[in-house]
Structure 1
Amino acid sequence: MTHRVPHRLSRAVVLLTVLGAALPAAAQSRPYAPSLSCARLQALLERSGAAVLSTGPRTYDRFVRDGRFCQSTEVTEAAWVRASDDPDCFIGYTCKEADRDDQW
C-alpha cells in the first residue's frame, strides 16, 4: 500500500527546502569594502547607522556611524578601511569595550 502526499503539501516541502538552502547564503553576504568607493561606504553607514563589512577575503568587522550603535559598556574607536578609491577611507567607528581609563 502506498501513501500519496497531497500535491499542495509536496510543493510546500519543496519550497521550504529551497528557501532553507538559500537563507544561509544570504545571511553570509555582506558588502566588500575594497570593491566600493569611500563615499559609498560612508553613505551606507550614514543611512543604516551600523553595518558589518568584509574588509578582506577572510576578514570583516562591524562599523558604526556613532556611539548610539554601540552597547552601553562600549566606546567608539575611529576606523579606516581600504576602499576602491582610497586606501585609508575613514568609515566611521568600531565599538570596543571601555577600559577603566575610558570613563565617561
Structure 2
Amino acid sequence: MKKLATALSVLAISAIASTTFASAAQHVDSHDLTGAQVKQLVQEQGSVLLDTGPNVFDRYVANSSYCSLGEKAERAYVPTADSNSEFVGYTCQADSNS
C-alpha cells in the first residue's frame, strides 16, 4: 500500500509539473494581435513569449523587475496586426556594466 501511495504521489507531481511547464512555455504570435492588445498582455502577464516571425521568438517583459540579476530592460518593438514596429514592453539583455 505504501508503494502505491508513493507511486501515485510521484505521478501527481509529474502531472502538475508538466502542466505548469507547458503553460509557462506558451507563445503568442504578435501578428495576431493589435499593438494595444500585445501591450496589455505584457502588462497583465508581466512576462510573455512572443513569436515575431517564423521560428523567431523572444521574452518580453513589463519592466526591469522581470529581468534577472545582471540584466537590464531594453525597449522592444515588434510587428503586430496594425503596425510593423510597435513598442510593447522590454526585453532583458545582459548589462555590460555588471
TM-score, scaled to structure 1: 0.68
- Structure 2, unpaired ranges of 5+: 1-14
Q: Could you tell me which of 70, 78, 85 is aligned with 2:82?
A: 85
1:7-18 matches, cutoff 5 A = none
Aligned to 1:96: 93
- Structure 1, unpaired ranges of 5+: 1-18
> 1:28-50 CA distances to partner (integer Å, 9 max, x unpaired)?
64110011110100000110111
Aligned to 1:31: 28
Residues 33 and 72 (structure 1), Cα distance of their counterparts in 2 relative to 1, 3 Å cut = same
Aligned to 2:54: 57
Cα distance in structure 2, aligned partners of 1:61 and 1:36: 16
Percent identity between the two aligned chains: 29
Aligned to 1:68: 65
SS of corresponding position for 2:80: coil
Structure exhibiting the larger radius of gyration computed from Cα positions: 1
Cα distance in structure 1, aligned partners of 2:94 and 2:54: 26
- Superposition CA RMSD, Å: 2.1
Instruction: Write the letter of the residue equivalent to 1:34.
Output: H
